[in-house]
Chain A
Amino acid sequence: MSASTQANSLHRQRQWALYGSYAALAVFVIIFLVPPFYTIITSLKSSAEISAQDGSPWMVKNPSLENFWYLITYSNFQTYYLNSVMITAVTVVVSMVISVLAAFSLSRMGFWGSGVLSTVVFLTYLVPPSLLFIPLFQIVGSLGLINSVWCLILLYPTLAVPFCTWIMIGYFSSIPKELDEAALIDGANYIQILTKIFIPVAMPGIIAATIFAFTVAWGAFLYPLAYLYTSNQMVLTVGIISDLIRGDVFQWGKIMAACLLASLPPIVIYACLMDYYVAGLTAGATKG
C-alpha cells in the first residue's frame, strides 16, 4: 500500500518536472523567437504605417506584401541575390572538393608531415576572419581583385575548408579499414576507393560539411564589407545595409523584408537537414 503511494508520488513528481521543463522551454522559445517575429511583422507593414509611429509596433494593421514585391522587382536586390547564390555555390563546391580530398589523404594514406598538417588544419579553424582581414585586403588589392566577387570566391574557402576537413577526417576515420583493404585486393585504386566507398559511406558527414560551408559563405559579412563597394558586385549581407539605408532614411519595412528573403535559404536548408548538421557539429567537436 505505502509502496504504491510512494511510486505514485514519484510518478507525479516526474510529471511535474516534465511540465516544468516544457514551460521553461516555452519561455526560452518565445524569447528567442522575438526578433524573427518582429522581422516578419515589420516586413508586412507599409512605409506609411511605420512612419506614422502610432499604436503597437508589435501589430500590423494593414498587412501587405508591397515590400516583398518591391524587392523582387528591384534590380539591385536581384543582383545581390544572384551574387550570393553564385559565390556560395562556388565556395561550397571548391571547399568540399579540397576538404574531401585532403581528409581522405590525412585519415587513410598519410605522408611525411601529415600528422602536423592535421594539427595545422585544426588550428586554422580557430583563426577568426577578423584577425587577418587587413593583410588580406592588401593581398587582394595586389591581385587586382578589390571590389570583385572573385576575391570572395578566393577567400571564403579559407573559412570553410579547415572545419570541413576536420569533420571529414572524423567521418573517414570511423570507416573500418577492412573495407578499403578488400577494395585494394580487388584492384581498386585510391581514387576509386574514395569515390566508390568513402564518399557514399560518409555521406552524412559530407552533408554536414556542405551545410557548414554554405552557412559560412552565405552569412559572411566582414570580407564583403571590407572588399566590395559597388552595388553590382555586392552580396546580400552588405547589399541590404548599403542599399536600403540612405543617410538617415531607414526603409525598415523593406530592410526587414530583405532580411527575411535573405534568411530563407539557410532556414529551409536547416529545416530539412538539421539532424545531419547537428551530428556533424558535435562529432567535429568531440573528436578535437
Chain B
Amino acid sequence: MAGSSGIAATMTPPGAGRVPMGMMQRFLQRRSTIAFLLCLPLILLVAGFVIYPAFYAIYLSMLNKKMTAFVGLGNFAFLLKRHTFQLVIFQSCLFAITAVMMKALLGFILAHLMHNIPSTNQKIWRGLLLVPWVIPLALSTLTWWWMFDPSYSAFNWILNQFGLDNVPWLGVGWIARLCTITVNVWFGTPFFMIMYLAALKSVPEQLYEAAAIDGASAVQKLIFVTLPMMRNIISITVLFSLITTFADFDIVRILTGGGPQDMTHVFATYAFQVGIQSGDIPLGAADSLFMFPILAFAAFFVLRGVTQRTKEIAT
C-alpha cells in the first residue's frame, strides 16, 4: 500500500492538520474519494473550458459592441434581420443536410462494396479509401482550392479538353456552394464507410440465411435485415457527422472565405469574420450560439432513439 499512502500524502489539502491524521487518511483511501480525485483533471477541464465558456458566451452575446452596456437579445434580433445572416442560416442548413445525405449514401455504397470483397483484400482498399480522412482537412482544402483556381484550374483544363467552357468554380454563388459541399463529401465519406463496414460485419450471418430460406430477394434482405440491424450505428454516425458538418469552419474559410456575396458563409465562418476579424465579439458570440439549439435538438432526438432501441434489444 506504499503507493496509495504516497498519493494520499501529496493530495492532502492545506489545513488538513486540523483533522486527526487517521481520519484524513481513511477518507483519502476511500474508494469513492480516490475515484473522484482521478476524475478531477477531467472535471476541471470540462468545467473550465467547456461549461464556463458556454455560459460566458450567453453573457457576451447580450453586450453591445464595446462590451460596455447590456442589450438583452438585441444582438440576436439584429442578426436575424440582417440579410447576410439569413443567407448564413440557409447555407449552413443546405451545406449540412446535403453533405450528410451524400456522405451517408456514398458511405453505404462503399461499405457494401467493401463487404463484398474477400476480407484479406479489404485492408489495402480501406487504406486507400481512408486517405481523404487522414490528411488534415485544412491542408487538403488548400489542394482543392488550387484545383478550383480561376486562372489555371485543373478541372477547367479537363473541361477544355472536351471542348467545354471554363467554369468559375468559386466565383459564382451556387457553384461555390456546390464546391464546398463536394469537398466536405470527399473528406467525410471514408468515416461513414468504416462505421458502416463495422456495422455490416456485426450482422449475424444466420439472419441472412434465414431470410434466404424464406425466399427474400437481395433488396428485401437489405430493407428487412441489414438496415434494421444497422439503425443505431447509422443514427450515431449521422449525428456525429451532422454536428461536425454543421459547425464546419475549415472548408468554407479556406475555399471561399464566405464569398461570393456572402453566399457560402456558414455559422462558424461568419462568427469568425464578425467576432475576430471585425472585433465585434458579442455579435460573433451571438452568431455561434445560434448553432446550439439546432445541434441540441438533433442530438436529443438521435440519442433518445438510440437509447430506446438499445433498451428494446436488452429486454
Report which A residues bind B (CB closer than 8 A).
17-18, 21-22, 24-25, 28-29, 32-36, 38-39, 42, 50, 53, 56-58, 97-99, 101-102, 104-106, 109-112, 114, 117, 120-121, 123-124, 126-139, 154-155, 157-158, 161-162, 165, 187, 189-192, 215, 218-219, 221-222, 225-226, 236-238, 240-241, 250, 252, 255-256, 259, 262-263, 266-267, 270-271, 274-275, 278, 281-282, 285-286, 288
CB neighbours of B135 from chain A (8 A):
36, 259, 263, 266-267
With A126-B243, A138-B56 as given contacts, are A259 and B4 in contact (CB-CB < 8 Å)? no
B297 to chain A, nearest CB (A): 12
Set A53, A130, A285: member contacting B268, Cβ < 8 A: A130
**Interface size of B as a range:** 35 or more
- B32/A110 in contact, CB under 8 A: yes
Report which B residues bind A (CB closer than 8 A).
1, 3-4, 7, 31-36, 38-39, 41-43, 45-46, 49-50, 52-54, 56-57, 60, 106, 109-110, 113-114, 116-117, 123, 125-132, 134-140, 142-144, 146-147, 149, 151-154, 157, 186, 189-190, 194-195, 198-199, 202, 232-233, 236-237, 239-240, 243-244, 246-250, 253-254, 267-268, 271-272, 275-276, 281, 284-285, 288-289, 291-292, 295, 299, 303, 306
Top 5 closest pairs, chain A to chain B, by CB: A219-B136, A128-B247, A130-B268, A109-B35, A282-B198
A188 to chain B, nearest CB (A): 9
- B56/A221 in contact, CB under 8 A: no
Bound complex: CA A102 to CA B303 (Å): 23
A251 to chain B, nearest CB (A): 11
Please give 12 more A-B residue pairs, beta carbons under 8 A apart, in addition to A39-B140, A105-B36, A131-B295: A36-B132, A109-B32, A111-B33, A128-B291, A130-B288, A134-B281, A137-B275, A187-B1, A189-B1, A225-B253, A266-B134, A270-B127
CB neighbours of B140 from chain A (8 A):
35-36, 39, 259, 263
- A222/B157 in contact, CB under 8 A: no
The secondary structure that dominates the B interface is helix
CB neighbours of B7 from chain A (8 A):
191
Bound complex: CA A192 to CA B1 (Å): 9
- A130/B267 in contact, CB under 8 A: yes
The secondary structure that dominates the A interface is helix
B236 to chain A, nearest CB (A): 5
- B272/A101 in contact, CB under 8 A: no
Question: Can you sample 16 A-B contacts with CB below 8 Å?
Answer: A21-B117, A28-B113, A32-B131, A97-B41, A101-B38, A101-B39, A102-B38, A121-B46, A127-B50, A130-B268, A137-B275, A155-B49, A161-B46, A190-B31, A250-B149, A270-B127
Bound complex: CA A133 to CA B109 (Å): 36
